[in-house]
Amino acid sequence: TKKYDYLIVGAGPFGSIFAYEAAKFGKRSLIVEKRPHIGGNMYTHTENGITVHDYGAHIFHTDNKEVWNFVNKFADFNNYQNQVIANYQGELYNLPFNMNTFYEMWGVKTPAEAKAKIEEQKKEAGISGQPRNLEEQAISLIGTDIYRKLIKGYTEKQWGRKATELPAFIIKRLPVRFIFDNNYFNHRYQGIPIGGYTQLFDKWLSSDLIDVKTNADFFEHKDDYIKEFPRIVYTGMIDRFFDYRFGELEYRSLKFESETLDTDNYQGNSVINYTDAKTPYTRVMEWRHFDGLADKGKTIITREYPQNWDRSKEAYYPVNNEKNTEIYKKYAKLAREHKDQFIFGGRLGLYQYFDMDQVINATFNTVRQEFKLSNSYVFDKN
């Protein structure tokens, strides 16, 4: 092991791009990944010509031109734009909330009519002053009907708690548009790599200076690794790294159930959200609609079920409430005290909800620091 400059825990985007950049400076890395494959939650595989995102739908969307140019060096991206449909007890609505939704909900045809309707419902609900919870926040932003049919059930399933027990800040920035526009994300650059995301990781990890061990959990040999490696990049859970000494952080988990069906078109859209409380899943993805490249006669759908997290499950989302933020701060302080040996990165290492573009940007910043690069250093310019 003397020959490695870095041990990297996790072959997701943070770990993989770090290794890729380090190799450019002649540095050797060993990556240990507990799953049987590389790619982290961006991992995709292809069957029947259909690219399946194994850990939920991943749509690349960003305003960060450097990150966009970077990822486009490793794959051709299509021009996919996410347009989600909500199904509330058999009624269909366009998301995110926009003039199409308001027309479907109330028959209103102009922005002025839609705004008047929302105002009327806010008034009827009698909410004044600072919203005390998610329910009050939602109603004061969008009115009672949309809250009840499109937010309440979905959000309660997602968080496993009543909307009246959830903090208002979760939906501070509810996207509400008074134009006819179903494009889910506001970002300038959007798309999905044709053939999926795994090809990016194959390229990032192809250097002779990088070795990858899959099915290898860091915690099986933690003490040995710490003794042997002077520099460790860790993208797993930070509370577990420090043996939970300040207590456990909370996470949300997910369960995915996939099915192959003998049809060309099951639901007519890539994502349908089930916004009632009773349907146990939150959304159904139909993968062929993300790129239109599927073979004829087959389709693959995946149902996504939110789950409470415990140590036997995958941690997908940090729960960034006050309590956890206080705990995380203690771990972050400890991490800083050990910064000569350890770099904490990524969604679980920094206990932060990162989108792909954000995690890539965070990796760039870490690489800049580690290799003392100037701010004008451009990642993979031509």
Q: Applying CB under 6 A, which of residues 291, 306, 347, 364 lies at the interface with ligand FDA?
A: 347
User: Is 304 among the residues known to form the active site?
Assistant: yes
Considering only residues 238 through 297, tell me which ones interact with ligand FDA, judged by CB under 6 A.
254
Q: Applying CB under 6 A, which of residues 96, 131, 193, 236 lies at the interface with ligand FDA?
A: 236
Shortest approach of ligand FDA to residue 66 CB, angstroms?
Answer: 15
User: Is 252 among the residues known to form the active site?
Assistant: yes
What the block records as the tokens of 236 is 């797993």
Per rule CB under 6 A, is residue 219 in the interface with ligand FDA? Answer: yes
User: Is 283 among the residues known to form the active site?
Assistant: yes
Per rule CB under 6 A, is residue 217 in the interface with ligand FDA? Answer: yes
Q: Catalytic pick from 21, 88, 283, 288?
A: 283
Interacting stretch for ligand FDA, rule CB under 6 A, among 8-16, 87-95, 115-123, 287-295?
8-16
Per rule CB under 6 A, is residue 359 in the interface with ligand FDA? Answer: yes
Q: Is 157:58 a contact under the CB 8 Å cutoff?
A: no
Per rule CB under 6 A, is residue 32 in the interface with ligand FDA? Answer: yes
Per rule CB under 6 A, is residue 96 in the interface with ligand FDA? Answer: no
In degrees and rounded to multiples of 5, residue 60 shows phi and psi of -80, 125
User: Is 311 among the residues known to form the active site?
Assistant: no
Interacting stretch for ligand FDA, rule CB under 6 A, among 92-100, 266-274, 331-339, 347-355?
347-355
Per rule CB under 6 A, is residue 193 in the interface with ligand FDA? Answer: no
Residue 270: how many CB atoms within 10 A of its CB? 21
User: Is 274 among the residues known to form the active site?
Assistant: no
Q: Catalytic pick from 276, 355, 370, 380?
A: 355
Per rule CB under 6 A, is residue 42 in the interface with ligand FDA? Answer: yes
Residue nearer to ligand FDA on the CB measure, 127 or 194: 194
Interacting stretch for ligand FDA, rule CB under 6 A, among 56-64, 105-113, 224-232, 285-293?
56-64
Per rule CB under 6 A, is residue 211 in the interface with ligand FDA? Answer: no
Q: Which residues bind ligand FDA (CB under 6 A)?
A: 9-15, 32-35, 40-42, 55-60, 217-219, 235-236, 254, 316, 346-347, 354-357, 359
Tell me which residues are annotated as active site.
173, 177, 252, 283, 304, 353, 355
